[in-house]
A and B are shown apart, each in its own frame.
Chain A
């Protein structure tokens, strides 16, 4: 028991230690200062930029940046759609899997393009190695890099800098950050047991004489960027619970840290851009204040187990339904919270089978979207809440709200509200529509309150660009493929457009000199207010759903019905 808690603490401490190191490196990359990797990647970067016809990268205006994001994403999407659609005639298909329906291809493309990686299929039985590596593996880099670029452009604007050049940011996110770390991580994963082969499934005869097909493939390189880029789309159907995606305690450690290390470090990067590390650590503190209790609650719930089964066993035992022995309750609970906090969405235990308190915590993460948050965008959302807190406190004390020395005015508040409101819109409306559908179209697999949680979880995961699921849900249907695609697109591109416009507007504002009357944002008091604002604005909209789903389920279980 104690060892489980120590393991959780060890992973958290590792992330906190890595935060300033990686945060500083990311800041140097995007401030275009010299870094260790310049001798290798400097010439490559310049060659790539020349290939696309950019000799001196110029800063873009807000709309130029948005147009570059959208056009490049559409190009990627079309390329990947074609690869997936043409799967039957493309090579590297040793298991000879067939074609996919158009709606599944569409859903999968949008899912990986938006960094969601929600999967309505099982990798080993549905996709060829071409589809996995050439289509999805590619989007895992570019979708993460798109998020990172937007996150960086946002802080550049807030601090009065030019937004930068999207193509350069996209490329450098990959060549300087995602690719080098993934490369090193992949080699460790292979050494620790994760396959990297182009051979098809191994056919073996078991000791008892049964024929077993052991799915494998070029998994390790895919796995590493899946975690690091907060993608979360598994090579195999069962994701990181599969021993070939996550073989032991060491791979689990690397994969857990990889999920959270970039969003955690990015807060520090923001601090360096602002020239105010105190502000960054305070924001970091807000995240930890949300994150740590959720981990403890979930781990406690799983370690106490299912009362009904405990009675049968005659003793208290952890809930191991949907869990692997090598991870146990502690590593599984920590992972469940990290993956929903960071919008990674990979799983090493089944969320559908979590105790209600675990279901509550994972859903809460997806509603808030700022407990670390998505690659690049999560940190930006955190600062959106700071801006809203400035606005609200400014109203209370009757001062013009200012953030980082720039006035917060109508346009900023409108854009921040759009970012805040698109989430409940993309979650609750489709949920309501789905609940009105005939029973067999809803796809619910668990009865009662949990069934509602399944539907809400699917849309929340889509809109938050997370991708995990209560996977009992029968989601491989036309309705689910199309409706979840809409939620993913709204949850991705509406906030991106709003973030860039907001940053673009802030960039041009006159700096207001700091006086005694200025409301300081780097104080404990203001940070506390921000935390409350996050709770009120972020959770209140979703409270009825939480009550009807996991909270009601918890009461149901404890009353033994």
Chain B
């Protein structure tokens, strides 16, 4: 078989497979997804009372103020930096465990937490993989109860209750790890 024949066949099979995998497949899954699971398919957005989006249940937000539970440290500030205002972003530190810069970052962070009377927990010191982690560990949420109780004047037991309601648990008791969804938790604070 000469090359021209192969070229001719290749061009045609590439065209056909392109229509199948790059047009029909995305189109069909998009159609079904939008029809059956429109909330998830559009990013699981959370709307406020006026119908404006205030976040996504799957995407974390930066929380720094005393009136909210803090989220994990993020190298990209959860995509709120002005240079990615149009596109959004994701990113990690990519610091090796042997890199002195890692400990130089973690040490003052632990001090800051201790000053706020919060016992440092691993997930509040280590930055996340995506920079958008929506969760903190149960331990990290509970360590912040005294601070929130003071700032909001709420009973610690009530805060514990809200934390429990904001846990995204393992699926089928085994898949994944449980985490407290910080946006859900802080939304429930505002609603009380």
Report B-chain residues with C-beta under 8 Å of the C-beta of A249: 170-172, 174-177
Report B-chain residues with C-beta under 8 Å of the C-beta of A119: none
Report B-chain residues with C-beta under 8 Å of the C-beta of A174: 17, 20-21
Report A-chain residues with C-beta under 8 Å of the C-beta of B49: none
B116 within 8 A of A: no
Report B-chain residues with C-beta under 8 Å of the C-beta of A325: 72, 123, 128, 133, 135-137, 177, 179
Which of A182, A322, A332 is within 8 Å of B25, CB to CB?
A: A182
B90 within 8 A of A: yes
Interface string of B1-31 (1 = CB under 8 A from A): 1010011111111101110111101101110
A242 touching B90 by the CB < 8 A rule? yes
Apart from A312-B120, A471-B94, 18 more pairs, CB < 8 Å:
A52-B12, A53-B9, A72-B9, A75-B11, A179-B25, A190-B33, A192-B40, A193-B40, A207-B61, A210-B61, A212-B80, A213-B80, A225-B21, A250-B171, A305-B122, A308-B103, A321-B95, A325-B179
Report B-chain residues with C-beta under 8 Å of the C-beta of A331: 176-177
8 Å CB contacts to A: which residues of B157-192? 168, 170-172, 174-177, 179, 183, 186-187, 190
Max chain B Cβ within 10 angstroms of own Cβ: one of A167, A308, A324: A324
The residue in chain B whose Cβ has the minimal distance to the Cβ of A246 is B130
8 Å CB contacts to B: which residues of A295-337? 305-306, 308-309, 312-313, 317-328, 330-332
Which of B63, B90, B94, B176 is within 8 Å of A215, CB to CB?
A: B90
A242 touching B130 by the CB < 8 A rule? yes
A423 within 8 A of B: no
Report A-chain residues with C-beta under 8 Å of the C-beta of B179: 325-326
A478 within 8 A of B: no
The residue in chain A whose Cβ has the minimal distance to the Cβ of B9 is A52
B42 within 8 A of A: yes
The residue in chain B whose Cβ has the minimal distance to the Cβ of A448 is B98
Report A-chain residues with C-beta under 8 Å of the C-beta of B186: 207
A135 to B131, CA, bound (A): 27
B115 within 8 A of A: no
A72 touching B10 by the CB < 8 A rule? yes
5 A-B pairs with C-beta separation under 8 A: A216-B43, A237-B91, A313-B122, A321-B93, A324-B129
A510 within 8 A of B: no
Taking the nearest CB of chain B, how far is it from the CB of A359, in angstroms?
Answer: 8
Report B-chain residues with C-beta under 8 Å of the C-beta of A397: none
Interface string of A69-97 (1 = CB under 8 A from B): 00110111001000000000000000111
B22 touching A206 by the CB < 8 A rule? no
A281 within 8 A of B: no
B84 within 8 A of A: yes
Which of A136-144, A409-417, A516-524 is near enough to bind chain B? Answer: A136-144
A332 to B176, CA, bound (A): 10
The residue in chain A whose Cβ has the minimal distance to the Cβ of B30 is A196
Report B-chain residues with C-beta under 8 Å of the C-beta of A288: none
A122 touching B90 by the CB < 8 A rule? yes
Which of B45, B55, B106, B127 is within 8 Å of A206, CB to CB?
A: B55
Interface string of B52-69 (1 = CB under 8 A from A): 111110111111110010
B80 touching A445 by the CB < 8 A rule? no
Interface string of A161-192 (1 = CB under 8 A from B): 00000010011001100010011001100111
A202 touching B65 by the CB < 8 A rule? no
A244 touching B58 by the CB < 8 A rule? yes
A99 within 8 A of B: no
Interface string of A214-248 (1 = CB under 8 A from B): 11101011100100000000001110011110011
A238 touching B53 by the CB < 8 A rule? no
Which of A22-30, A350-358, A425-433 is near enough to bind chain B? Answer: A350-358
Interface size class of B (residues with CB under 8 A): 35 or more
Q: A207-B183, A208-B65 are in contact. Are A238 and B98 (CB under 8 A)?
A: no
The residue in chain B whose Cβ has the minimal distance to the Cβ of A195 is B43
Interface string of B28-52 (1 = CB under 8 A from A): 1110111011001111110000001
Taking the nearest CB of chain A, how far is it from the CB of B10, in angstroms?
Answer: 4
Taking the nearest CB of chain A, how far is it from the CB of B1, in angstroms?
Answer: 5
8 Å CB contacts to B: which residues of A481-532? none
Taking the nearest CB of chain B, how far is it from the CB of A405, in angstroms?
Answer: 30
A125 touching B89 by the CB < 8 A rule? yes
B174 touching A97 by the CB < 8 A rule? no
Which of A133, A203, A308, A353 is within 8 Å of B92, CB to CB?
A: A353
B118 within 8 A of A: no
Report B-chain residues with C-beta under 8 Å of the C-beta of A327: 129, 176-177
A557 within 8 A of B: yes
Max chain B Cβ within 10 angstroms of own Cβ: one of A95, A241, A326, A331: A326
B93 touching A322 by the CB < 8 A rule? yes
A221 to B36, CA, bound (A): 15
A19 within 8 A of B: no
The residue in chain B whose Cβ has the minimal distance to the Cβ of A238 is B90
Report A-chain residues with C-beta under 8 Å of the C-beta of B95: 321, 352-353, 446, 472
A179 to B68, CA, bound (A): 46
Q: A52-B16, A212-B80, A220-B33 are in contact. Are A326 and B8 (CB under 8 A)?
A: no
A101 within 8 A of B: no
B129 touching A238 by the CB < 8 A rule? yes
B43 touching A238 by the CB < 8 A rule? no
Q: A205-B54, A211-B85, A472-B96 are in contact. Are A72 and B13 (CB under 8 A)?
A: yes
A447 within 8 A of B: yes
Interface string of B108-136 (1 = CB under 8 A from A): 00100000000011110111111111111
Taking the nearest CB of chain A, how far is it from the CB of B62, in angstroms?
Answer: 6
